[in-house]
Amino acid sequence: MSVFAVVGWLDVFTRNDYKDILLQSLSYCQKVKGIEIIAWCDMTNHVHLVFRSVKGQHPSLLLGDFKRFTSRAVVKAMQENPRERRREFLLEQFKKAAAKSSNVKEYKFWRHDNKPIELWSNKVIWEKINYVHNNPVEAGLIYRAQDYVYSSASDYSDEKGLMVLWYFSIMVEYGTWKTYLKLCKERDAIAHQRGDYRSCELLSEIRSIHDFQNLK
């Protein structure tokens, strides 16, 4: 899980076109970088992301690539947006932040103190998912988490959100949850015979994220 914020906690993502840059970049990371998104929420000045890396790249490096690209893309969109009344102020703040940094030349967009943390149990994963989804409610933006468009809360309420979450891509490939869970159980049985228990982990993760009692 990671929470990364704009320098100075500036409210940059009040415009949907800037939010959409984040979503497009996350979608690219899903397709190319091997990031699997479990939950997400884009607030006005920070982003919550519960994810895992499945192609061997360390989560810190994966997020570093994402933050470098989105930093340049959002700043460029801001510079080219004639409707951005706060452009001069925001760019000046990014310049001031860059002047205090040793590894940023012109504009520093993201804070550098937001490191990914490992979620060590299924219980903690579920707690963090709820925490992420409740951010807009706690901020007073909406009454129900699933009504906030720029998060995955609606996906967990049997509605379709803006991003494809990792377990929904499984349904596209296998058709139904029952088909996938049956396949997992068959693989688990074979793994138990070999004394290899690693294949059970994914099934455990899936059940912890959603209630699958009716699919047993």
Residues 50 and 91 both lie in one domain: yes
CA distances (Å), origin 179, targets 170, 172, 174, 207: 10, 11, 6, 14
Output 13 or 186, whichever has higher pLDDT.
13
Residues with Cβ < 8 Å from 162, sequence gap 6 or more? 23, 149, 150
Quote the CA–CA distance of 164 and 161 in Å, as a whole number: 7
Q: What is the CATH number of the domain that holds 108?
A: 3.30.70.1290
Domain that holds residue 124: 2-167
- Looking at the fold, whether 108 and 186 belong to one and the same domain comes out as no
Determine the pLDDT at residue 75. Answer: 96
Condensed to tens digits (0 to 9), the pLDDT of residues 95-140 reads 999 998 877 889 999 998 766 777 777 778 888 889 999 999 999 9
Q: Model-level pTM greater than 0.95?
A: no
* Listed residue (189, 150, 183) closest to 49, CA to CA: 150
Per residue in 38-97, pLDDT (tens digit) is 899 999 999 999 988 877 778 888 888 999 999 999 999 999 999 999 999 999 999 999
Tell me: do 99 and 192 sit in the same domain.
no
Band (201; pLDDT cuts 50, 70, 90): very low
Q: Within the chain, where are the H helices?
A: 16-28, 59-79, 87-99, 122-138, 166-174, 177-194, 200-209
